[in-house]
Amino acid sequence: MIKNYLKIAFRNLFKNKVYSFINIVGLSLGLAFSVLVILFVNDELTYDRFHENGENLYRLYRQPLMEEDMYDTDVYMPMPTAEALKRDIPEVEETVRLIPFGNLIIRKDAAALEKDGVLFTDPSFFDLFSFPLKLGDPATALTNPGSIVLSEDAADQIFGNRNPLGETLSLRLNGEFSEFEVTGVAKALPGNSTISFNILLPIQDVLSRYEDYARVENRWDATRNLLYVKLNDGTDVNLVQAKMPQFMNTHMGSMFDEMREDGIYKGDGPALVYRFQPMEDIHLNTGVPGGLSQPGNPSYSYILGGIALAVLLIACFNFMILSIGRSAKRAREVGIRKVSGAERGQIMFQFWAETFIVAAMAMAIGFLFTEFALPVFNELSGKSLSLGSMIESRWIVSGLIALFVVTGLVAGSYPALLLSGFKPIESLNERLNFSGNNALTRSLIMVQFSISVFLVAATLGMGKQLDFMQNKNLGFSGEQVVVVPLNGQDGERTLSLYRDILGGEEDIVEITGANVSFATGLWRRGYNYNGELMQTAVFRVDPRFIETLEMNLIAGRDFNPLLASDSTQSIIVNETFLSRHGMDQAAVGETFPIDWGWMNNPVIIGVVEDFNYQSLAADIEPAMMYMNPRDPILNMMIRIAPDQVQSSISKIESAWSSIHSDIPFTYSFLDQDMDELYRAEERWGKIIRYSSVFAIFIACLGLFGLAGISSIQRRKEIGIRKVMGASVQGILILLSKDFAKLILISVAVATPVAWYVLQYWLRQFAFRTDLDPGIFLIAGGYALLCTMLMVGWHAIRAATVNPVQSLRSE
């Protein structure tokens, strides 16, 4: 019997090739998109879950308990915390400190290269984390100073196919090259790890070479490292957390007393507390700063999952719509089978069998679509997903099986239940309505296009915000500004030599430098102002900084390199700095009451217009610029002429080679660096854009099929109208108007939902665009245009058929 059912199912599929094709392609696209999303969500949810002792691993972070909000939650800890925890808290089995160090210059033989992903860490690194070594002994790899562990990629890049163990590399630390012995090579790191590295070095090497780190090795008032802890098996972390206030008072009590004396903190207990964050919680917890990597926003996973569900529902609805539309042709078949003794359950089984065959074919083709789409999706999402990872995950395999079953049940539910319930007399007399006017059909079409219009509107709204961010006046000009990291070189000396070499070149407009290049970092310093704890962003700059970046100096004057006081005791602030301290431009010429030891009571000599040195998602903070040589210049910035970019870059690189021949030359453009701040939003905008194309394409496929069915069912009516003198235009309007009404209703439903969601999304940006009604008009017009094209093709075809053929008896 089952064989007979399958034979009939395949016969019906091949008999109706067009509608079978539409169903299979629509379902396969929906399933392919769903598989991509499952892979993405699985990758997000399994971050850091590969560590063998993951349930016992925690990262510490500091949470201020002060009423003032000038200090935020922070993941950087005082260096002595690690040993104190092991000594004072019995439940702490082991700790490891991590100090991110950015980039390092590596020299092997005569070749030099720059590598990022450098971490200084304790020998216990491999005890806590499951990063297996391809070569070397994890127990001793980081025990001795002068050791280096490379990632597999870094080892291949430097040594090729050679065994690097025992080889030496020269690393540039604190301005000098030192020899390090390769003691290990780590296997390729998982992509879903919040800890990544190319180079691991013993923490003693940073302490022995950098005074800034050595000076605070035993101090509790300075933070330098990330701290991870491993608790004993079976330990209740809440019990350990309860011991933290006493721990804080023991080691930092004197600091808290001083804060109370200064009126900064009025509480009885510690002013801040350490908290334990589970390792598996780090990636998707946006409430705690990222540390080595920025946390992912879990809402994006929910959004993407919702979009995938919407696309899959559209594909399922297509199947239902077309099945309902074709039901009139199969009504007589159902009647004859019932008269012949078929039971309702057998007929339901028949139609669901057809559905599951389509679903199986769609899933097979969907996997092919997924394989082809993965490179594009990986580029959009910034991941390295593969279909092979599905086999390793039970829940993915279970999810795909469930997806197949649910898709088959949902897609075939209404046709199976409806057709099997026909009464034989009605079926044989064809007194049934399955045209495009069927209530359920209309509802499904409206749902489809409501989702499609929503996605198109969301795409346009997100695109407008991205354009706004990329084109907004930031208060400075980053175009044609080349940023050259100095990699530990003497900034003052490098700037002076560059001006000597390139000062006479017409295409080199200006040369300056600063401690940070806006998009690549930010320094903040705190101070006590009238009994209130405050902080400001600080920029150690060269005298020509404001001029080079074309900032607007609205009061006072710029730095003068000829005035000795400007080099040590002068500051320029932004407008927000003045307003935050209750000042105005009249403060120019007054001293500002701060005492940082190396700069006391500096004079405010100028005020610049507020400038966005962070993402537009953040409010502008107080900012202070100074030339005090206590802080280094770490980045050189060169404004070049717009019409000779390549030749200017060549000159800059040539000058670098003549000054620092042993250091690789790297550069970027400041405006491109700022654009990187919005890469996540741009990536999600593209994902939603492609999703909307998927959704509306699948919806149009179904509409195309339904319009064809509708035109066939009404061909006698069309023939009569043509005999009575109806024009092609009139027939086109007749067949299109009902569908057009449905699309207009869909636009009316989707517009307020899209407006609300976009407004909610825009709230995360401190600087945002306004939603233009034109966005929703364009989205609705796009859906209406697609509808008219799909329906119009069938309408024109039906209207141009010879009436004699239309009226001919079947």
Q: What is the 3-state secondary structure (H, E, C) of 729-773?
A: HHHHHHHHHHHHHHHHHHHHHHHHHHHHHHHHHHCCCCCCCCCCH
In this structure, the answer to whether residues 303 and 272 fall within a common structural domain is no
Same domain, 97 and 155: yes
What pLDDT score was predicted for residue 366? 86
pLDDT of residue 120: 96
806 contacts: CB under 8 Å, gap ≥ 6: 715, 716, 718, 719, 722
558 in a domain, yes or no?
yes
Looking at the 3D structure of the chain, how many domains does it have?
Answer: 3
**Residues in contact with 719: Cβ distance below 8 Å, sequence separation at least 6, in sequence order:** 801, 803, 804, 805, 806, 807
Cα separation of 99 and 235, whole Å?
27
631 and 657 part of one domain? yes
Within-domain flag for 656: yes
Q: How long is the chain?
A: 810
Residue 80 inside a domain? The answer is yes
Give the pLDDT of residue 437.
Answer: 46
Q: How far is CA 147 from CA 129, 140, 270, 747, in A?
A: 19, 10, 39, 64
- State the alpha helices, DSSP H only, in 340-393: 344-381, 388-392
Q: For the chain, how big is the Rg over CA atoms in Å? A: 34
Q: 370: which 2 tokens?
A: 């997924």
| 494 and 428 co-located in one domain | no
Same domain as 660, residue 549: yes
Q: What gap in Å lies between CA 429 and CA 462, rounded to an integer?
A: 53
* Within a domain: 753: no
CB of 405 within 8 A of CB of 67? no
pLDDT along the chain (810 residues), means of 10: 63 69 80 85 88 93 69 84 95 95 83 87 95 93 94 91 91 88 93 92 93 89 92 94 93 86 77 91 85 80 81 77 62 67 73 79 87 86 78 72 78 68 56 52 80 85 83 86 87 91 90 87 82 86 93 94 90 95 91 89 95 85 93 92 89 91 85 80 77 77 68 64 69 74 87 90 84 86 79 70 57
Instruction: Let me know if 159 is exposed, middle or buried by CB neighbors in 10 A (0-12, 13-18, 19+).
Output: middle
Q: What is the largest CA-CA distance in the chain?
A: 107
pTM above 0.85, yes or no: no
Rounded Cα distance, 692 and 458, in Å: 9
State whether 243 and 318 are in the same domain: no
Name the residue range of residue 80's domain.
54-281
Same domain as 569, residue 542: yes
Q: What is the DSSP code string of 486-535?
A: -TT--HHHHHHHHHHHHTT-TTEEEEEEES--GGG--EEEEEEETTEEEE
Round to whole Å and give the CA distance between 115 and 155.
Answer: 11
Residue 18 covered by a domain: yes
Same structural domain, 443 and 461: yes
Q: Does residue 763 form part of some domain?
A: no
Q: What CA–CA distance (Å, rounded) separates 702 from 323?
A: 10
- Cα 794 to Cα 16, 561, 681, 784, 788: the distances in Å are 17, 78, 40, 16, 10
Q: Which residue has the tokens 């069915």?
A: 709
Considering the domain architecture, whether residues 156 and 200 belong to the same structural domain is answered as yes
Cα–Cα distance between 181 and 136 in angstroms, integer?
12
For residue 533, the cross-strand partners are: 528
Q: Distance between CA atoms of 687 and 695, rounded to whole angstroms?
A: 12
pLDDT of amino acid 755: 93
Based on the fold, state whether residues 315 and 376 are members of the same structural domain: yes
Residue 806's closest CA among 726, 709, 679, 721? 721
In this structure, are 8 and 40 located in the same domain?
A: yes
Give the pLDDT of residue 72: 66
Q: Is residue 736 part of a domain?
A: no
Predicted pLDDT of residue 274: 92
Residues 462, 551, single domain; the answer is no
C-alpha 70/C-alpha 91 separation (Å) is 33
From 613, 639, 665, give the residue that closes a domain. 665
Rounded CA separation 779/688 (Å): 14
In a domain, 434, yes or no: yes
**Burial of residue 67 (number of CB atoms within 10 Å: 0-12, 13-18, 19+):** exposed
